[in-house]
A and B are shown apart, each in its own frame.
Chain A
Amino acid sequence: MNGSTPKIAVRGLEKSFGPKRVLDGIDIECGVGESLVIIGGSGTGKSVFIKCILGLLHPEAGSIHIDGAETIGVRRSERARLMSKFGMLFQGAALFDSLRVWENVAFGLIQGRGMERANAKRIALEKLAAVGLGAEVGELRPAELSGGMQKRVALARAIAAEPEIIFFDEPTTGLDPIMADVINDLIIKCVRELGATAVSITHDMVSARKIADRIAMLHKGKIVWQGPAAEIDGSNNPFVDQFVHGRAEGPIQMEVRAV
């Protein structure tokens, strides 16, 4: 593959739900091995953007290239092959309640790749160890775990099949600051060890600064700023400044209705 070809290239991406346009012409690229973090307020379309790349939602216009190849409108068999490149950590962890923890981690290996259960269990326990969880946790059900442990299991599941691209949807939301930092460290460690490309969405600026090589800000369906993580404080972009400093006054107006 050409070294200059971005791992992910999105051009003119548009997605609406009824009359509401959520993504309004997104243009963004992510290089091989790069960690891109997309920030933005709630309801600005961050999750929709990731779901479009994953093929869980179908955009109305635009293109999404992975390794230089168009992924919108590909056949089901090609989509299945594409999925093997992806790992995803969902905001609420999205662990399967009916399965034990190790079965959750090994799910993609057993069901998706047809790996033998014993072999998949060995890999699942290795991945659990990589996120700081012992083998005894593997025998528990997700409902028996704390929120932080569930996020760690979800991270282990996301990296179990050693994907080329990992998506993180609000990885630290709902966690205390210490556990959030633990998750951030694990994300950095796992992504570096795999040499994977990472795309994260968050409104946690501490997390964004820590895990990002590059940050982009999404507002009203458009990328209003993007640049290296180190430059975010000197962006001189009013949207970014308001968001980073958490000010109520500024160009971003929250939709608050009188009760």
Chain B
Amino acid sequence: MLDFLAKVGAAFLGFLAATGRLVGFALMGLAGAFSPPFYPRIILRQIVYMGYYSLPVVGLTAIFTGMVLALQSYTGFARFNAESAVATVVVLSVTRELGPVIAGLMVAGRVGAAMAAEIGTMRVTDQIDALTTLSTDPFRYLVLPRLLAGLITLPLLVVVADIIGVFGGYIVGTVKLGFNPASYLTQTETYLETMDVVSGLVKAGVFGFIVALMGCYHGYHSRGGAEGVGQATTYAVVSASILILVANYMLTTAFFGK
């Protein structure tokens, strides 16, 4: 029994220590935002890489998510004659939940992994030490631009995902399910509130920060050559995905919980 308690205690202390290291890393990364030197070109490059090049994957997943959502909700609501709620369910689900979550998970897979691999390779090949010897703070040069890019870019991607997702639902609703286009759009607009969109965009900002933080953190601490970089990449994607889902629940509770 004591052994079991000791293991639980050790695991809990390990969790607290890991959380402390992660928070410390994030604070060191963000601290550079308040004093020069700044690297606007690198921030812009990261925004383009994280945002522009993620548009196809986010757009594709968003449109199919909207389409499936329309089909499934129609099938369910038809059982108690509530088919007219399909448009409302699609727009609320996409803007509040699915847009930010799907975009966050897609960007975690595409960008978080690449960040961990790039920074991890820089770590194991001494490039991060080289930055320091060239009077350049790796946190300002590598970490901060990625954190800011995540924070800025994901809300923009989610705006696009929201529009495309709702459009996917509209296509299925009007072409396949036989809704009148005008009444579908009216239903979509009538029940959509500003808070629905804003909450989704706030979530997106948090998710973007999580993706960038996990990519940078695991890349920065990778050890042991190619195997270490591979592990860092896996940890970055898995931890970002889990944290996105946990943060999604907490933010939903904060915005809409009673």
Contact = CB atoms under 8 A, between A and B. Distances in A.
B180 interface: no
Contact of A56 (B37, B127, B129): B129
Given A111-B141, A114-B37, A83 B126 contact: no
B168 to A, nearest CB: 36
Interface in B127-143: 127, 129-130, 132-137, 141
Size band of the A side of the interface?
20 to 34
Given A51-B129, A87-B133, A94-B130, 17 more contacts: A54-B133, A55-B132, A56-B133, A80-B137, A86-B133, A88-B129, A88-B130, A90-B126, A90-B130, A92-B125, A94-B127, A94-B129, A95-B127, A97-B121, A111-B141, A112-B134, A157-B134
A56 B132 contact: yes
Interface of A: 51, 54-56, 80, 83-84, 86-88, 90-92, 94-97, 107-108, 111-114, 157, 161
A80 B135 contact: yes
Chain B, interface residues (CB within 8 Å), range:
10 to 19
Contacts of B122: 96
Interface of B: 37, 39, 121-122, 125-127, 129-130, 132-137, 141
Contact of B135 (A92, A94, A97, A113): A113
A2 to B, nearest CB: 27
Contact of B133 (A88, A92, A96, A114): A88
A111 B133 contact: no
A84 B133 contact: no
Given A92-B125, A94-B125, A112 B130 contact: no
A108 B135 contact: yes
Contacts of A84: 135
Contacts of A92: 125-126
Contacts of A86: 133
B132 A83 contact: yes
A94 B125 CA distance: 6
A83 B135 CA distance: 6
